[in-house]
Amino acid sequence: MAQPDNYLNNVFINCPFDPAYNSMFEAIVFAIHDCGFIARCAREEDDGGDVRFHKIIRIIDDCKYGIHDISKADVDVGSGLARFNMPLELGVFMGAQRYSAKGHYNREKKLLVLDSEQYRYQIFISDLAGTDISSHDQSIETLINKVRDFLFNNSRRKSIASGAFIYARYQTFIAALPNYCTNAHWDRDNLSFIAYAICVTEWLKINPI
């Protein structure tokens, strides 16, 4: 099977899609693009006829890299039930890496697993014991550094700047984003993933490293 287009540049994001996490999500997307990669996630397509799980599998297949934040895999205040989407998508990504045929491009997959605390995962998903889990401590600066280091260490691309430099650029971008949205007649507080990604890529064209 032929390797998908942009496979070596595609990064799958598996994280919560809720308002409380949105600033973290935006930071991940920016860091990925500023490192020279392409952010991918389930929100990139809006097809009512497409089964969500099939879409996720297809996107995972397209991506060499995966960033999985399981920090919100806890009890929802409203329903009283745990949210298992993030651990499920992590399992699919790990399965694609582990069970693909020898020599298949999916064997090259690399993943970063994030949580809000270093060893919290042991309480609710102990089967990950032995996996290197990174903690972002709910800090955007720490999160950007973790994403940058993961992509740099696994790609060895000399073009990737330091985490501190990317974080400073992210702050500049976020400050400029409201004016960009105003000029585009977009609502800053209700940007879709595609719209936000366009804002990031357009800003990076004007402000390359």
Question: Is 3 a domain residue?
Answer: no
pTM above 0.85, yes or no: yes
Q: Is the pLDDT of residue 154 over 70?
A: yes
Q: Is the pLDDT of residue 47 over 80?
A: no
The total of structural domains in the chain comes to 1
Non-local (6+) Cβ contacts of 136 within 8 A are: 24, 69, 71, 114, 115, 116, 142, 143, 146
Question: Is 2 a domain residue?
Answer: no
Instruction: Give the separation between CA 110 and CA 153, rounded to whole angstroms.
Output: 10
CATH code for the domain of 17: 3.40.50.10140
Mean per-residue pLDDT, 63-82: 81
Alpha-helical (H) ranges within 100-139 are: 121-124
Confidence of residue 138 (pLDDT cuts 50, 70, 90): very high
Mean per-residue pLDDT, 177-192: 95
Question: Is 60 a domain residue?
Answer: yes
Non-local (6+) Cβ contacts of 4 within 8 A are: 10, 61, 62, 105
Amino acid identity, position 96:
A
**pLDDT recorded at residue 12:** 98
Question: Is 180 a domain residue?
Answer: yes
Confidence of residue 83 (pLDDT cuts 50, 70, 90): confident
Instruction: Note down the domain range covering 174.
Output: 10-206
Q: Is the pLDDT of residue 49 over 60?
A: no
Question: Is 4 a domain residue?
Answer: no
**pLDDT recorded at residue 173:** 98
Mean per-residue pLDDT, 67-77: 80
